[in-house]
A and B are shown apart, each in its own frame.
Chain A
Amino acid sequence: DAGITQSPRHKVTETGTPVTLRCHQTENHRYMYWYRQDPGHGLRLIHYSYGVKDTDKGEVSDGYSVSRSKTEDFLLTLESATSSQTSVYFCAISEGGAVTEAFFGQGTRLTVV
């Protein structure tokens, strides 16, 4: 899986609690992304990073924040988890360039009860 590790792989949490998901890469790629995948939807971009401390919002960023203090780590935080954030979360990485392949992690299944 292209040197991408997501942790945890599974998590159950209660509504209103903060949750942090971690993505770690060993490829030294500049770009990192967080997506969510839900039934009936294609993957949707939450946030992405184009360098250390450089991040930007995707199409479904409400309720999420991210941080990237090192090239290899990209954290996704749900500040106060809601049931609508129950989903499978995927991290992806890519190098720069106009046509550059995106490599995905194995996913984190998050259930908010």
Chain B
Amino acid sequence: KNQVEQSPQSLIILEGKNCTLQCNYTVSPFSNLRWYKQDTGRGPVSLTIMTFSENTKSNGRYTATLDADTKQSSLHITASQLSDSASYICVVSAGYGNNRLAFGKGNQVVVIP
């Protein structure tokens, strides 16, 4: 069964600090890996999409890495802001298109002043 595991489940960080979120997956076949940000009461919004040939991709203060050999990904948030408080969801695509997406349960991040 395709699985996506994220850690830590939740964390609290001080505004201005950095943090790193982890994602391990057992999805086959592998097409691509995405990170989404979901604010409370809103739908997920895409941050990055990486195929197996890409090992890093940035979107502003968000940097995602991918190691397809070890089936691990991370999302690094630099100089956190209060608006970064959200759930970050790792999603792995198991094939062509978007009908074979395996979703993690999310990393809940709370940024405090």
The A contact surface, by secondary structure, is loop
Number of A-B residue pairs, CB cutoff 8 Å, is 63
- Residues of A near B34 (CB, < 8 A) are 101
Interchain CA distance A60-B106 in the complex, whole Å: 20
Among B31, B32, B106, contact of A42 (Cβ-Cβ < 8 Å): B106
**A31 to B99, alpha carbons, bound, how many Å?**
9
Alpha-carbon separation in the docked complex, A43 to B4 (Å): 11
Assign chain B's interface to a size class: 20 to 34
Query: Which of the residues A31, A56, A94, A107 comes within 8 Å of B41, measured between beta carbons?
Result: A107
A96 to B99, CA, bound (A): 11
Classify chain A: how many residues form its interface, as a range: 20 to 34
CB nearest to B90 among chain A residues: A42
Q: How far is the CA of A107 from the CA of B40 in the complex (A)?
A: 11
Q: Let me know if A107 and B42 touch, CB within 8 A.
A: yes
Residues of B close to A4: CB separation below 8 A: 43
**Residues of chain B within 8 A of A58, CB atoms compared:** 99
Tell me, yes or no, whether A106 is within 8 Å of chain B by CB: yes
Q: Give per-residue flags for B34-50: 1 if the beta carbon is below 8 A from chain A beta carbons, else 0.
A: 10000001111110010
* B63 proximal to A (CB < 8 A): no
Given contacts A98-B31, A99-B32, contact A44 B98 (CB under 8 A): no
Can you sample 25 A-B contacts with CB below 8 Å? A40-B105, A42-B102, A42-B106, A43-B44, A43-B101, A45-B101, A48-B98, A50-B99, A56-B99, A58-B99, A90-B44, A92-B43, A94-B97, A94-B98, A98-B31, A98-B96, A98-B97, A99-B49, A101-B34, A101-B46, A101-B49, A104-B44, A104-B45, A106-B42, A106-B43
